[in-house]
Amino acid sequence: MSNYAARRAAMVENQLRARGIWDERVLGAMGAVPREEFVPRRLRHRAYADSALPIGGEQTISQPWIVAAICQELALTGGERVLEVGTGSGYSAAVLALLAAEVISIERDPELARAARRTLARLAVANVHLELGDGSLGDFERAPFEAIAVHAAAPGPPPALVDQLGDGGRLVVPLLEEGEEMLVALHRHGERMTRATIAPCRFVPLIGEGGFAEA
């Protein structure tokens, strides 16, 4: 077993399973995707640290537990079409690609989008479709989605994303509430939405028409 593979296995056991991630499909995907490929070379020695890491453009690759918690809350079974808002490095998209049939991932930063596209291609991830644009508006042409994952903090559930969530679908989004960020899951039941709070979190702000205005 390579050094990275050993560290990845330790991450799954010590950072994820030991802290409440129980979905074996999620644990398997987290154990299969090489996180070191998605961080800058100078930070690869920290690829499996229990923390977020900078990837450029004032963006980060999320802490492994956060990625796993989002994926677990989406409750994917393998046949879903998933919308991801905030591609970043492409790491979460690669994990989602092992859990769903198709991933539509939207990134607003052209440089990050190009880098993520190169990494996903190098790793032969074929079921992620990366788009450049305002992720807070989703993708009406490909909607509805069975699951939506948002990797940036919003002032409230983005209306366009709520509209594009299919019946029975789940939307996981960090929300800024009373000055504190909380990772929240919304579950659609016809016209009714139920809500559950997962954990405190810290994300960059969601910039766009359905989020915050650009500074």
Query: What is the dotted CATH code of the domain comprising 3-200?
Result: 3.40.50.150
Catalytic residue set: 62
pLDDT in tens, 127-147: 999 999 999 999 999 999 999
pTM for the model stands at 0.96
Question: In the chain, what are the domain boundaries?
Answer: 3-200
Identify which of 27, 5, 32, 4 has the alpha carbon closest to the alpha carbon of residue 16.
27
Tell how far CA 6 is from the center of its chain: 24
pLDDT at 2: 74
pLDDT in tens, 79-119: 999 999 999 999 999 999 999 999 999 999 999 999 999 99
Evaluate whether 111 touches 89 at the Cβ level (below 8 Å).
no
